Structure 1
């Protein structure tokens, strides 16, 4: 969802519990973001699908009237993970346990000499002792690099759209639910093979060296509600270059979510529901939007600021 790197773009959409705090900010935006929002309807109720950006800035709020209206209309809110699980305090520990090496291998052994040298330089530049990373799997190191770089650009996980609506649902007393469990998300990351993990670290470092331009481009595409731009920047390269990883991270999860979302439409006792998930999961032919449309539901883009789809 965030950088150019196609692996990283999707893995960061699975981000669970970043603890870093933004160290920089940019000028506040003056217009509300154009929402990536769709309404899926059957004969008696509706599901709103809202594409999230998991790290945002204060200037990304308030949201558009379309999004506020969808939240007000919904009697229940669903997320990738339930707020109860996110607040349980166990996800970070589960991730650390999954990322900790247990086979006696070292991070330096996993990386080629050039990547190791670049990682040393990055750690020194950011005042992070490289020894702190030695006991962790490469995928966790790559994720850490990305989070550090994004928070330096003023993007804060505490301000992500998911957290925003978890708090709003809590304050309004609306029931919430999750589409999957945290351990399932962790397994997506921990399931990367050695080659994919090395690539993840190398490209995380490459993005860090190039700076914030690509991250900002994707953030602005999200603010514009540019579904095509986000698809191209987030997923198209990965689908082409890393089809197995794309299948595991995106398609398989979407396929598992669609029946759960559809149940909110088919159950006669269900009320309207707002579903907030990473924007990637709604985009392209493999996205939840098209999968529900293929099942015969009426699907329309909700966007007063853009042309109807």
Structure 2
């Protein structure tokens, strides 16, 4: 098979590759909030402790893009970091920073074989994409060289830029820097190749769903994302679940299973290996969506008989 021609990297595509290291389109709803005012109190954390007789694994739900005013973090989160000897993220820090990651992603995204992007999308979705590109000055001819999932990523990155959010301030990056400064080892729950494959190996219907979801989010504007960010700051797991994951599960079931359920299930054995250690605790920082609801990591570990408790000094006591 002849090698694919090298992809030309544009600033917009570089932004999309940065986003890819964080999450997939719907999960980014948990991260798109246009904050401008200072926050009076630290965010109430989405933090759980899974423990056995020897050690503990802390599970922290992240927004992958945040504002400077989302810091400092709560004492609960800082205590979990201090108690942990190791950290785990969706991707290991060295993979996120690898200089060839962007090229690998773009090569995976380039179209191959017969047919065009317009053929893949069909007349209705193509018309929506044309309208969005016209309104926002996106180079549709250039984007047409890529698969639908990458186009959806590009739209999401365009919208996130309007919200003024910074991936460098995301909770993942924050703790990667803290781990490095403290000399604590950090690992990934999946490889960069596996994360790219989550998108690149989607069938065309799932890719169309991803692109349609990105356009739906763009049409919604900042209203929903601001509400979701507020829910994250409140530590309101129910609001985040019903506002994102449950809706996605109903409207885009194949996409939901691909980017959420399958990955959650794949991570559980690695988390159980951390629990099987005879000493030392681990802090795991992943997108908040992965921890919530009946398909979330918290529920999966509870179903396997592990002791799981929410760590939240600021939460109202349960009756």
- After TM superposition, the score normalised by the length of structure 1 is 0.88
Q: What are the ranges of 5 or more consecutive residues in structure 1 without an aligned counterpart?
A: 1-6, 16-21
Residue 87 in 1 paired to residue 73 in 2?
no
Q: 1:307 to 1:128 in 2, by over 3 A?
A: same
Find the partner of 1:149 among 148, 153, 159. Answer: 159
CA distance in 2, matches of 1:232, 1:115: 26
CA distance in 2, matches of 1:123, 1:242: 23
Find the partner of 1:296 among 299, 305, 309. Answer: 305
Deviations 1:24-75 (A, max 9, x none): 7622222111100001111121110000111111111111111111111111
Offset of residue 291 of structure 1: 1.7
Deviations 1:188-239 (A, max 9, x none): 1122222222233233223212311011111111111011111111211232
* Cα pair 1:301 1:308 within 8 Å, conserved: no
Secondary structure of the residue that 1:28 maps to in structure 2? coil
Find the partner of 1:238 among 237, 248, 252. Answer: 248
Find the partner of 1:139 among 120, 128, 149. Answer: 149
Residue 107 in 1 paired to residue 124 in 2?
no
Which stretch of structure 1 is more off in the superposition, 291-300 or 156-165? 291-300
* Cα pair 2:54 2:277 within 8 Å, conserved: no
CA distance in 2, matches of 1:154, 1:195: 31
Residue 73 in 1 paired to residue 83 in 2?
yes
CA distance in 1, matches of 2:253, 2:125: 24
Partner of 2:13: none
Partner of 1:4: none
Q: What are the ranges of 5 or more consecutive residues in structure 2 without an aligned counterpart?
A: 1-23
Q: 1:111 to 1:296 in 2, by over 3 A?
A: closer
* Cα pair 1:29 1:59 within 8 Å, conserved: yes
* Cα pair 1:302 1:308 within 8 Å, conserved: no
Residue 97 in 1 paired to residue 116 in 2?
no
Q: Which runs of 4+ in 1 moved over 4 A?
A: none
Alignment length, in residue pairs? 294
Residue 31 in 1 paired to residue 41 in 2?
yes
CA distance in 2, matches of 1:26, 1:110: 39
- After TM superposition, the score normalised by the length of structure 2 is 0.86
Partner of 2:280: 271
* Cα pair 2:65 2:169 within 8 Å, conserved: yes
